[in-house]
Structure 1
């Protein structure tokens, strides 16, 4: 098994590893006495100072890491419900692709399918050591990782546990992949998009499938979670992100999530119907938020910032390139976002819409360096900017309301062949209260100043019940609005205040 985990991913896909240690961890919190719980694991004698004496049942004891922690390893396949408790003196680790459950198929009836739920307690820290180490939650199974504002769950790299990460560290392990049975547009066989038989292999793996016809499918809950230093490419264009969502349904809860220093995208969504709220993406080396393949959903309250002038691509990328008229058609609704684009690499765009995507963006603040285009719309055969067509599941041209662009010398860019910068400007200016020559007054980099608060906000709740109606644009109203505090971590990219820990420092929970 360990040899398989160390091999190239192409030779050892996510569904190729058998588990040596399946079962449920049933381990009570440490009480300082070194008691033995059911299953043979022991709690941490000494009340949480120093490493635990043993690992809980269902994990593999890999010895001591960073002096104070027992390294309790997860590997292979989790085939029954399992809970990771936040035990004193314990750090959990991922070895190779760790699968939760076995794929049940798009219709829920795949031969050999097995459902399992991985539950992670608030304050728990899980680390991984290399690109081949990542977590896959297969169709039909769930990840319930529910932290709190003062006790977030942290997924990070071994180097971070050992205290050797820096503000430029990235791509030190794989990431988290959630897979569901909600509709997608691009199928790997000749079947109708959005059907139970429409499925595909998720990016960053070789055999993990996603897609189906259950829009309200649930892959569990992620709340108050940090994902640090992830991202790994198994081949050009085939990468793991910080958080990858494939065919995830609207029954999944996703809020208060920070992706820090991913070497690829912060969050990439392949189809499905997930809705997300309160997101922080810091230092992503590719896009902050990437949506593809028939995704339909709502996203609100997003703070995203690039690390420096040489790292990062777009803040938003939305497309289904090469399959523009595949059904279902992407329709992303984004509200209350603050994007800080710092990269000055020639030809970049803060927001890139292409490949026949439908997109609505309201109540946004985009700050860019000179030379970067704020909005680029590419339209192969006119697909991205054509009029509504119900037969093609087409909602019409992208929509912007109460969105301001600050700093961009080139506000609008097209692909020249099918759409011009003038066409893009017409799309943007068709909305209400938009300004492409705005002068930002943001404080602490991402908090609205007087100029932002003077812009009339759009009623986001009119777009869908998931959205909260606000009286302001941007992700953060003012200094009293601190939804991001405590559970995030600080870096050279953004500082969230003294209550938030340093990302580069080892998690102290």
Structure 2
């Protein structure tokens, strides 16, 4: 768990303005005061690199849960890279507000969601492999800007690039799809692949989430953005809550911007790009770097790499996932790692 002093919403103090220095939250599950939040969006909570988090997470009560990787109001100067979550009993990662920037993330076997982002975060992720165990787990992505308080600022605006998601279970009755975007969240998914043959792929809830009207005053960046995204879905690909299925499908826009919702996977070794992944032109995510909106830097300068490929692993020579991960029946990351996830690390 890393905590910082960047902006959040859902303030603990009655009357505190969201995004202000007075807006703080208590860490879920903490008995003593463990507050986070403030106005330092470039705050530095240190560095976390080459870390495995195994068998973590616990549901204490409704809306009080211990996650695997937990980032609370972490600022953009914090360095987070090469993190593996294995068999979390809750989410693989949850980001509570702040401006977290994460590179090279692996999640295997989470029992709840995998990328869970909320309370006004401006989070950025690049390069990720997400694999569920059979018949265990919920959404690949769950994003909610501020629970029921859609109008609070800052509004969530998360950007995810070069991820592969493998959903091997049915969604819960609440999320209903592999990707759930709700609560007015802004979101961008780029150069990524979702393999979810037994689930709907996208559920967008509430008209504010689907709104294509950009508004600085409301910190509203517009409708969710999909660029060079491939999806394999169940026969029902899209579902809605408060809008229409047609509107959800239109936001994804299969057949345009490199998006395809009728894709057939051709990965080798589970996640290495094959012919159908390689033929898709990548979106240049480096154009998102240092972008400002409403006076706030959405992505720190130099964070996103320009890639010539979609997905997380270009080909067999691309081995960023080796040497620091562990292997399991759900996902094998090759030789030269730390051994089985069920054993103590050997290197």
Q: Do the two structures share a fold, i.e. TM-score over 0.5?
A: yes
Matches of 1:450 and 1:228, distance apart in 2: 33
- Stretch of structure 1 that moved more, 340-349 or 425-434: 340-349
Aligned pairs for 1:381-460 (under 5 A) are 382-386=207-211, 387-415=213-241, 418-429=242-253, 432-460=257-285
Of 182, 196, 199, the match for 2:21: 196
Secondary structure of the equivalent of 1:392?
Answer: coil
Q: Give CA deviations for 1:195-228 in whole Å, capped at 9, x if unaligned.
A: 1111011223243111000011111100000000
Of 181, 186, 189, the match for 1:358: 186
Matches of 2:101 and 2:17, distance apart in 1: 24
Of 443, 463, 473, the match for 2:288: 463
Secondary structure of the equivalent of 1:475?
Answer: coil
Shift of residue 237, structure 1, vs aligned partner = 2.3
- For 2:311, the equivalent position in structure 1 comes to 474
Aligned pairs for 1:144-293 (under 5 A) are 177-189=1-13, 190-206=15-31, 207-293=33-119
Shift of residue 345, structure 1, vs aligned partner = 4.6
**Which has the higher relative contact order, 1 or 2, with Cα contacts under 8 A spaced 6 or more apart?**
2
Of 128, 139, 147, the match for 1:302: 128
Matches of 2:154 and 2:172, distance apart in 1: 34
Matches of 2:97 and 2:85, distance apart in 1: 20
The structure with the largest alpha-carbon Rg is 1
Matches of 1:346 and 1:288, distance apart in 2: 13
Matches of 1:409 and 1:480, distance apart in 2: 35
In the alignment, structure 1 segments of 5+ residues that lack a partner are 1-176
Q: Over aligned residues, Cα RMSD in angstroms?
A: 1.3
Matches of 1:273 and 1:356, distance apart in 2: 18
- 1:345–1:268 Cα change, 3 Å: closer
The 8 Å contact of residues 138 and 170 in structure 2, kept in 1 or not, is answered as: no
- 1:244–1:389 Cα change, 3 Å: same
Secondary structure of the equivalent of 2:250?
Answer: helix
Matches of 1:487 and 1:351, distance apart in 2: 28
Matches of 1:401 and 1:293, distance apart in 2: 25
Aligned residues: 327
The 8 Å contact of residues 489 and 496 in structure 1, kept in 2 or not, is answered as: yes
Shift of residue 393, structure 1, vs aligned partner = 0.4
Secondary structure of the equivalent of 1:336?
Answer: strand
The 8 Å contact of residues 179 and 203 in structure 2, kept in 1 or not, is answered as: yes
Q: Give CA deviations for 1:143-192 in whole Å, capped at 9, x if unaligned.
A: xxxxxxxxxxxxxxxxxxxxxxxxxxxxxxxxxx2111000012112122
Matches of 1:236 and 1:321, distance apart in 2: 14
- For 1:507, the equivalent position in structure 2 comes to 345
1:483 has 2:320 as partner: yes
The 8 Å contact of residues 204 and 233 in structure 1, kept in 2 or not, is answered as: no
In the alignment, structure 2 segments of 5+ residues that lack a partner are 290-301
Matches of 2:230 and 2:99, distance apart in 1: 27
The 8 Å contact of residues 343 and 369 in structure 1, kept in 2 or not, is answered as: no
- For 2:295, the equivalent position in structure 1 comes to none
1:377 has 2:204 as partner: yes
